[in-house]
Amino acid sequence: MVSAGITNQKTVKVTGENTAKALGSGELPVYATPAMIQLIEQTALESVRSELHEEESTVGTYLDIKHTSASPVGIDVTCKTELIEVDRSRLRFKVEVTDTKGEVGTGFHERFIVKNEKFMGKAKSKLS
């Protein structure tokens, strides 16, 4: 059962591939906001995966994130998530992203627990 208090942490290195310049979200070779969002979602997803039934997953539905500092190529970036609220299927996470020099981003992220088959059926129905 998913309950508040679950935490997780994941660290990545800033490389040429996850910069704003490479991802098209900016022109400079610094850690890209889309890469930070991906790290946040992955860290939150992994934190609760073992608590779900085999036929369930979570999907990201909401982000309220500030990207507060640039991180250059070569530095490590760490995301920490804490599940702070569970409301039926809605999971709300507090998020902190740092590099070795301090804060990079903060905010909140929400995910919903879904039944995989039902969710994919609804998504695929858009093709009809």
Assign residue 102 a region: left if phi > 0, alpha if psi is -120 to 50, beta otherwise?
left
What are 22-52's pLDDT values in tens digits?
999 999 999 999 999 999 999 999 999 999 9
> What is the architecture of the domain spanning 7-121?
Roll (3.10)
How do the domains of the chain map onto residue ranges?
A: 7-121
Q: How far apart are CA 81 and CA 71, in angstroms?
A: 19
Catalytic residue among 33, 56, 96, 106: 33
Give the global pTM: 0.96
pLDDT of 1 over the 90 cut: no
Catalytic residue among 19, 41, 58, 81: 41
For the chain, give the percent of residues with pLDDT over 90. 98
For the chain, give the percent of residues with pLDDT over 70. 100
Q: What is the mean pLDDT of the chain?
A: 98
Catalytic residue among 19, 43, 67, 110: 67
- Per the annotation, the verdict on 67 as an active-site residue is yes
